[in-house]
Amino acid sequence: MAYPSEIERWQFNEIEACKEYSFQIGELLRDKLGKLLVEASNYFPTGSAVTEGDTYSVTFNIISTEDNTLVDTVTPLYVAGIGDGVTEVIEGLAEWIVTGTTDNLVDPASDYMISNAYTDYPSDTDKHLFFVAKQGYILEETAKLNVESDSTKAWTPSDAPAVYLGYGTAPKAEYPRIVVTPTVSNTICPLMEESVILVESVEREYTSSYIRYGVFLTCEAGDFDTVLRTNISAQSVLNNFRSRMGNEIVRKRIQNNMNSVCHPIERITPLPVIEATKYLSVATASAQFDMVDILFPDELAGFVEQVIIEGSTEADPENPEGILYKYDPDSPEVAIYGQEMNIDRRTV
Protein backbone atom coordinates (compact mmCIF):
# COMPACT_ATOMS: atom_id res chain seq x y z
CA MET A 1 0.00 0.00 0.00
CA ALA A 2 1.35 3.42 -0.97
CA TYR A 3 2.17 5.81 1.84
CA PRO A 4 -0.84 8.18 2.17
CA SER A 5 -0.69 11.90 1.41
CA GLU A 6 -2.38 14.02 4.08
CA ILE A 7 -1.62 17.57 2.96
CA GLU A 8 -3.96 20.26 4.29
CA ARG A 9 -4.48 23.95 3.60
CA TRP A 10 -2.68 26.32 5.96
CA GLN A 11 -1.87 30.00 6.33
CA PHE A 12 1.53 30.35 4.68
CA ASN A 13 4.41 31.57 6.82
CA GLU A 14 7.92 31.13 5.46
CA ILE A 15 9.48 31.06 8.94
CA GLU A 16 7.24 28.22 10.11
CA ALA A 17 7.88 26.35 6.85
CA CYS A 18 11.68 26.62 7.21
CA LYS A 19 11.59 25.63 10.88
CA GLU A 20 9.64 22.49 10.06
CA TYR A 21 11.91 21.73 7.08
CA SER A 22 14.98 22.14 9.31
CA PHE A 23 13.54 19.70 11.83
CA GLN A 24 12.69 17.14 9.13
CA ILE A 25 16.17 17.38 7.58
CA GLY A 26 17.71 16.89 11.02
CA GLU A 27 15.64 13.78 11.68
CA LEU A 28 16.60 12.38 8.28
CA LEU A 29 20.34 13.19 8.40
CA ARG A 30 21.21 12.57 12.07
CA ASP A 31 23.97 10.19 10.97
CA LYS A 32 25.50 12.72 8.57
CA LEU A 33 25.40 16.01 10.50
CA GLY A 34 27.23 17.40 13.49
CA LYS A 35 25.40 18.66 16.57
CA LEU A 36 24.19 22.05 17.69
CA LEU A 37 26.27 23.37 20.59
CA VAL A 38 24.75 24.56 23.88
CA GLU A 39 26.15 26.17 27.01
CA ALA A 40 26.19 23.89 30.05
CA SER A 41 27.89 23.53 33.41
CA ASN A 42 30.77 21.06 33.67
CA TYR A 43 30.82 18.65 36.61
CA PHE A 44 33.73 16.86 38.33
CA PRO A 45 34.34 14.97 41.61
CA THR A 46 34.99 17.05 44.72
CA GLY A 47 38.63 16.94 45.77
CA SER A 48 41.55 15.23 44.08
CA ALA A 49 41.12 11.78 45.65
CA VAL A 50 38.35 9.24 45.05
CA THR A 51 37.49 7.06 48.05
CA GLU A 52 36.15 3.53 47.71
CA GLY A 53 32.47 3.33 48.70
CA ASP A 54 31.75 7.05 48.26
CA THR A 55 28.64 7.98 46.28
CA TYR A 56 28.85 10.67 43.61
CA SER A 57 25.53 12.04 42.33
CA VAL A 58 23.65 15.00 40.85
CA THR A 59 19.86 15.41 41.03
CA PHE A 60 17.91 17.17 38.27
CA ASN A 61 14.29 18.12 37.77
CA ILE A 62 13.22 17.52 34.16
CA ILE A 63 11.08 20.43 32.95
CA SER A 64 9.03 20.34 29.75
CA THR A 65 9.61 23.38 27.53
CA GLU A 66 6.14 22.97 26.03
CA ASP A 67 4.17 23.82 29.15
CA ASN A 68 6.91 24.44 31.76
CA THR A 69 5.76 21.52 33.91
CA LEU A 70 7.80 18.98 35.91
CA VAL A 71 8.12 15.74 33.94
CA ASP A 72 10.45 13.68 36.15
CA THR A 73 13.29 13.83 38.68
CA VAL A 74 16.49 11.88 37.98
CA THR A 75 19.68 11.34 39.97
CA PRO A 76 22.71 10.11 38.01
CA LEU A 77 25.02 8.43 40.52
CA TYR A 78 28.13 6.34 40.81
CA VAL A 79 29.54 4.41 43.78
CA ALA A 80 33.34 4.29 43.69
CA GLY A 81 34.94 0.87 43.67
CA ILE A 82 38.44 -0.39 44.45
CA GLY A 83 41.09 1.49 42.50
CA ASP A 84 38.66 3.98 40.98
CA GLY A 85 39.84 7.47 40.16
CA VAL A 86 38.38 10.64 38.63
CA THR A 87 38.06 9.03 35.20
CA GLU A 88 35.98 6.12 36.52
CA VAL A 89 33.66 8.45 38.44
CA ILE A 90 33.03 10.72 35.45
CA GLU A 91 32.52 7.84 33.05
CA GLY A 92 30.30 6.05 35.57
CA LEU A 93 28.03 9.09 35.91
CA ALA A 94 27.86 9.35 32.12
CA GLU A 95 27.02 5.66 31.77
CA TRP A 96 24.17 5.97 34.28
CA ILE A 97 22.27 8.20 31.82
CA VAL A 98 22.04 5.23 29.45
CA THR A 99 21.79 2.24 31.77
CA GLY A 100 20.39 3.47 35.10
CA THR A 101 21.61 1.77 38.26
CA THR A 102 23.54 -1.47 38.08
CA ASP A 103 20.64 -3.39 39.62
CA ASN A 104 18.23 -1.89 37.05
CA LEU A 105 15.92 -0.58 39.79
CA VAL A 106 16.01 2.91 38.29
CA ASP A 107 15.00 3.69 34.70
CA PRO A 108 17.66 5.42 32.61
CA ALA A 109 17.25 9.12 31.87
CA SER A 110 18.20 8.87 28.20
CA ASP A 111 14.72 10.01 27.13
CA TYR A 112 15.41 13.41 28.68
CA MET A 113 19.15 14.05 28.62
CA ILE A 114 22.57 13.10 27.31
CA SER A 115 26.03 13.29 28.86
CA ASN A 116 29.37 14.34 27.37
CA ALA A 117 32.40 13.06 29.29
CA TYR A 118 35.89 14.50 28.69
CA THR A 119 38.53 12.32 30.34
CA ASP A 120 41.33 12.37 27.73
CA TYR A 121 43.48 14.76 29.74
CA PRO A 122 46.77 13.97 31.49
CA SER A 123 45.67 15.83 34.62
CA ASP A 124 42.63 14.82 36.69
CA THR A 125 41.88 18.49 37.36
CA ASP A 126 41.02 18.98 33.67
CA LYS A 127 38.62 16.03 33.41
CA HIS A 128 34.93 16.93 33.47
CA LEU A 129 31.39 15.96 32.46
CA PHE A 130 28.43 17.81 30.92
CA PHE A 131 24.77 16.96 31.41
CA VAL A 132 22.68 18.27 28.49
CA ALA A 133 18.90 18.29 28.13
CA LYS A 134 17.38 16.83 24.98
CA GLN A 135 15.11 18.86 22.72
CA GLY A 136 11.89 19.74 24.53
CA TYR A 137 13.32 19.62 28.07
CA ILE A 138 15.24 21.76 30.58
CA LEU A 139 17.50 20.46 33.34
CA GLU A 140 17.12 22.11 36.73
CA GLU A 141 19.79 21.07 39.21
CA THR A 142 18.42 20.57 42.74
CA ALA A 143 21.22 18.75 44.59
CA LYS A 144 24.66 17.18 44.23
CA LEU A 145 26.79 14.89 46.40
CA ASN A 146 30.61 14.79 46.25
CA VAL A 147 30.36 16.58 42.89
CA GLU A 148 31.16 20.19 41.97
CA SER A 149 30.54 22.40 38.94
CA ASP A 150 32.13 25.57 37.62
CA SER A 151 30.25 28.84 37.97
CA THR A 152 30.82 29.62 34.28
CA LYS A 153 29.38 27.52 31.47
CA ALA A 154 31.12 26.11 28.42
CA TRP A 155 30.00 24.96 24.95
CA THR A 156 29.26 21.29 24.40
CA PRO A 157 27.33 19.26 21.77
CA SER A 158 23.60 18.72 22.30
CA ASP A 159 21.50 15.91 20.83
CA ALA A 160 20.04 18.24 18.16
CA PRO A 161 21.39 17.80 14.61
CA ALA A 162 23.26 20.81 13.20
CA VAL A 163 20.57 22.14 10.87
CA TYR A 164 18.83 25.43 11.59
CA LEU A 165 16.94 28.38 10.16
CA GLY A 166 19.36 31.07 9.04
CA TYR A 167 17.61 34.36 9.69
CA GLY A 168 20.09 36.92 10.93
CA THR A 169 21.54 34.91 13.82
CA ALA A 170 23.25 31.51 13.82
CA PRO A 171 23.73 29.12 16.74
CA LYS A 172 27.09 27.49 17.34
CA ALA A 173 27.25 24.12 15.64
CA GLU A 174 29.64 21.36 14.66
CA TYR A 175 30.47 20.45 11.07
CA PRO A 176 28.82 19.26 8.87
CA ARG A 177 25.88 21.65 9.27
CA ILE A 178 23.04 22.89 7.08
CA VAL A 179 21.56 26.39 7.10
CA VAL A 180 17.96 26.72 5.82
CA THR A 181 16.88 30.10 4.40
CA PRO A 182 13.52 31.16 2.87
CA THR A 183 13.63 32.53 -0.67
CA VAL A 184 11.08 33.69 -3.26
CA SER A 185 7.42 32.66 -3.11
CA ASN A 186 5.18 32.91 -6.19
CA THR A 187 1.41 32.90 -6.56
CA ILE A 188 0.40 30.30 -9.16
CA CYS A 189 -3.35 30.80 -8.74
CA PRO A 190 -4.55 33.88 -6.77
CA LEU A 191 -8.08 32.56 -6.13
CA MET A 192 -8.18 28.80 -6.03
CA GLU A 193 -11.20 28.40 -3.74
CA GLU A 194 -13.92 30.55 -2.22
CA SER A 195 -16.17 28.70 0.13
CA VAL A 196 -17.17 27.88 3.71
CA ILE A 197 -15.37 25.59 6.13
CA LEU A 198 -16.09 24.43 9.67
CA VAL A 199 -13.56 25.82 12.14
CA GLU A 200 -14.15 24.50 15.66
CA SER A 201 -17.77 23.73 14.70
CA VAL A 202 -18.33 27.26 13.38
CA GLU A 203 -18.91 28.00 9.70
CA ARG A 204 -16.35 30.48 8.38
CA GLU A 205 -15.87 31.90 4.93
CA TYR A 206 -12.43 31.43 3.42
CA THR A 207 -10.48 31.95 0.23
CA SER A 208 -7.39 30.07 -0.83
CA SER A 209 -4.56 30.51 -3.31
CA TYR A 210 -2.00 28.18 -4.84
CA ILE A 211 1.52 29.16 -3.69
CA ARG A 212 4.94 27.92 -4.79
CA TYR A 213 7.73 28.86 -2.39
CA GLY A 214 11.45 28.23 -2.27
CA VAL A 215 13.98 27.24 0.40
CA PHE A 216 17.74 27.66 0.03
CA LEU A 217 20.06 25.08 1.63
CA THR A 218 23.69 25.86 2.49
CA CYS A 219 25.79 22.97 3.75
CA GLU A 220 29.18 23.55 5.42
CA ALA A 221 31.45 20.55 6.05
CA GLY A 222 34.62 22.08 7.49
CA ASP A 223 38.12 22.53 6.11
CA PHE A 224 39.44 20.59 3.14
CA ASP A 225 41.91 18.58 5.27
CA THR A 226 39.03 17.20 7.35
CA VAL A 227 36.92 16.55 4.26
CA LEU A 228 39.71 14.59 2.56
CA ARG A 229 40.26 12.54 5.72
CA THR A 230 36.58 11.72 6.34
CA ASN A 231 35.28 11.69 2.74
CA ILE A 232 32.33 13.81 3.93
CA SER A 233 32.08 16.99 1.88
CA ALA A 234 29.29 19.54 1.87
CA GLN A 235 28.25 18.33 -1.58
CA SER A 236 28.14 14.69 -0.45
CA VAL A 237 25.83 15.58 2.47
CA LEU A 238 23.36 17.32 0.15
CA ASN A 239 23.67 14.48 -2.37
CA ASN A 240 22.74 12.03 0.40
CA PHE A 241 19.74 14.16 1.37
CA ARG A 242 18.57 14.31 -2.27
CA SER A 243 18.87 10.51 -2.57
CA ARG A 244 16.90 9.86 0.62
CA MET A 245 14.15 12.22 -0.55
CA GLY A 246 13.66 9.86 -3.51
CA ASN A 247 12.13 7.34 -1.11
CA GLU A 248 8.34 7.66 -1.32
CA ILE A 249 7.74 7.09 2.39
CA VAL A 250 10.36 9.66 3.39
CA ARG A 251 9.12 12.24 0.87
CA LYS A 252 5.45 11.87 1.79
CA ARG A 253 6.19 11.94 5.51
CA ILE A 254 7.97 15.27 5.08
CA GLN A 255 5.19 16.55 2.79
CA ASN A 256 2.53 15.65 5.35
CA ASN A 257 4.42 17.40 8.15
CA MET A 258 5.00 20.51 6.04
CA ASN A 259 1.56 20.42 4.37
CA SER A 260 3.40 21.12 1.13
CA VAL A 261 4.31 19.12 -1.96
CA CYS A 262 8.10 18.70 -2.21
CA HIS A 263 9.71 19.06 -5.63
CA PRO A 264 12.92 17.07 -6.25
CA ILE A 265 16.19 18.91 -5.68
CA GLU A 266 17.72 19.27 -9.15
CA ARG A 267 21.03 21.06 -8.75
CA ILE A 268 23.70 20.97 -6.03
CA THR A 269 26.48 23.51 -6.45
CA PRO A 270 29.88 23.29 -4.70
CA LEU A 271 30.90 26.72 -3.47
CA PRO A 272 34.16 26.50 -1.45
CA VAL A 273 35.07 29.57 0.61
CA ILE A 274 38.30 30.61 2.25
CA GLU A 275 38.48 31.37 5.97
CA ALA A 276 41.79 32.69 7.32
CA THR A 277 44.36 30.47 5.60
CA LYS A 278 42.26 27.41 4.74
CA TYR A 279 39.45 26.49 2.38
CA LEU A 280 36.09 25.31 3.70
CA SER A 281 33.85 22.82 1.91
CA VAL A 282 30.52 24.52 1.16
CA ALA A 283 27.69 23.52 -1.21
CA THR A 284 24.25 24.95 -1.93
CA ALA A 285 20.93 23.67 -3.27
CA SER A 286 17.41 24.97 -3.78
CA ALA A 287 14.17 23.21 -2.87
CA GLN A 288 10.69 24.15 -4.05
CA PHE A 289 7.31 23.44 -2.50
CA ASP A 290 3.66 23.81 -3.53
CA MET A 291 0.94 24.51 -1.00
CA VAL A 292 -2.59 25.90 -0.63
CA ASP A 293 -2.61 29.15 1.34
CA ILE A 294 -5.87 29.70 3.21
CA LEU A 295 -7.25 33.06 4.36
CA PHE A 296 -10.20 33.82 6.61
CA PRO A 297 -11.09 37.37 5.49
CA ASP A 298 -12.04 40.02 8.04
CA GLU A 299 -14.51 41.42 5.55
CA LEU A 300 -16.80 38.61 4.44
CA ALA A 301 -17.17 37.92 0.74
CA GLY A 302 -20.94 37.82 1.06
CA PHE A 303 -21.63 34.56 -0.71
CA VAL A 304 -23.07 33.17 2.51
CA GLU A 305 -25.85 35.25 4.01
CA GLN A 306 -28.53 34.98 6.65
CA VAL A 307 -32.06 35.25 5.26
CA ILE A 308 -35.57 35.23 6.66
CA ILE A 309 -37.57 32.31 5.31
CA GLU A 310 -41.18 33.11 4.47
CA GLY A 311 -42.77 30.00 3.05
CA SER A 312 -46.04 28.30 3.84
CA THR A 313 -48.58 30.00 6.07
CA GLU A 314 -49.58 26.62 7.47
CA ALA A 315 -48.41 26.24 11.07
CA ASP A 316 -47.07 23.05 12.61
CA PRO A 317 -48.85 22.29 15.94
CA GLU A 318 -45.69 20.62 17.27
CA ASN A 319 -43.51 23.53 16.24
CA PRO A 320 -45.65 26.69 16.43
CA GLU A 321 -42.70 29.06 16.13
CA GLY A 322 -41.27 27.36 13.08
CA ILE A 323 -42.31 27.69 9.45
CA LEU A 324 -43.21 24.97 6.97
CA TYR A 325 -41.24 25.60 3.82
CA LYS A 326 -41.33 23.64 0.57
CA TYR A 327 -37.76 22.99 -0.46
CA ASP A 328 -38.89 21.33 -3.72
CA PRO A 329 -41.84 22.98 -5.56
CA ASP A 330 -42.60 19.70 -7.39
CA SER A 331 -42.79 17.66 -4.19
CA PRO A 332 -45.58 17.62 -1.61
CA GLU A 333 -43.00 17.07 1.15
CA VAL A 334 -42.03 19.95 3.40
CA ALA A 335 -39.17 20.61 5.81
CA ILE A 336 -39.36 22.45 9.12
CA TYR A 337 -36.95 25.35 9.59
CA GLY A 338 -36.47 28.04 12.15
CA GLN A 339 -37.10 31.71 11.38
CA GLU A 340 -33.54 32.20 10.08
CA MET A 341 -30.99 30.04 8.32
CA ASN A 342 -27.73 30.32 6.38
CA ILE A 343 -28.07 30.13 2.59
CA ASP A 344 -25.15 29.62 0.25
CA ARG A 345 -26.12 31.74 -2.78
CA ARG A 346 -23.82 29.81 -5.09
CA THR A 347 -26.01 26.71 -4.84
CA VAL A 348 -29.42 28.37 -4.75
User: What is the phi/psi pair of residue 121, to 5°?
Assistant: -125, 145
Give me the mean pLDDT over the 40-48 stretch. Answer: 89
Q: How far, in Å, are 1, 119, 153, 237 from residue 249 at the CA level?
A: 11, 42, 42, 20
Q: Are strands 163-165 and 177-199 parallel, antiparallel or unpaired?
A: parallel
Position 88: which residue type?
Answer: E
Q: What are phi and psi of 142, to 5 degrees?
A: -120, -20
What is the spatial distance between Cα 173 and Cα 176, in angstroms, rounded to a whole number? 8
- Please name the residues in contact with 162: beta carbons below 8 A apart, sequence gap of 6 or more: 26, 33, 34, 35, 36, 173, 174, 175, 176, 177, 178
> How much is the pTM?
0.77
- pLDDT tens-digit readout, 248-257: 999 999 999 9
CB 326 within 8 Å of CB 314? no
Tell me what pLDDT residue 150 has.
Answer: 86
Q: Where are the domains of the chain?
A: 14-34+162-295, 38-157, 304-344
- CATH number corresponding to 14-34+162-295: 3.30.70
Cβ atoms 135, 161 nearer than 8 A = no
Among 9-23, 91-105, 182-196, the range scoring the smallest mean pLDDT is 91-105
- The model's pLDDT over 142-175, given as tens digits with 9 standing for 90+, comes to 999 999 998 888 999 999 999 999 876 778 899 9
Q: Are 95 and 80 in contact (CB under 8 A)?
A: no
- Element spanning 252, H or E: helix 248-258
Cα separation values, 1 from 161, 244, 245, 257, 345, Å: 31, 20, 19, 20, 41
